[in-house]
């Protein structure tokens, strides 16, 4: 897994936000207007299905940027 692939997979969970908005340093809760708890569930599901990593709500809440979420997933692969 590499960060650009993960960013594309992450961005695919959003309907209206352009891919260019997603960068490793993006604080997805603060910087993305489209972020919602439903989007968070879709991202957890994508991570489980695509990467085979199950994250808890508390684990995902401990991350803030796309990079920190990526690092968490990479540490579990």
Lowest mean pLDDT among 27-31, 33-37, 56-60, 69-73: 56-60
Mean pLDDT score across all residues of the chain: 95
Phi, psi values for residue 53, rounded to 5°:
-115, 125
Output the DSSP codes for the chain.
Answer: --HHHHHHHHHTT-SSS-GGG--TT-BHHHH-TT--HHHHHHHHHHHHHHH-----HHHHHT--BHHHHHHHHHHH-
Name the pLDDT band for 1 (thresholds 50, 70, 90): confident
User: pLDDT at position 49, please?
Assistant: 97
Task: For residue 65, list its beta bridge partners.
Answer: 27
């Amino acid at each position: 897994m590499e960060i650009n692939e993960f960013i594309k997979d992450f961005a695919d969970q959003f309907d209206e936000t352009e891919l260019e908005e997603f960068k490793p340093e993006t604080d997805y809760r603060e910087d993305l207007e489209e972020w919602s708890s439903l989007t968070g569930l879709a991202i957890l599901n994508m991570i489980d299905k695509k990467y085979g990593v199950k994250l808890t709500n508390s684990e995902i809440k401990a991350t803030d940027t796309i990079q920190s979420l990526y690092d968490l997933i990479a540490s579990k692969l």
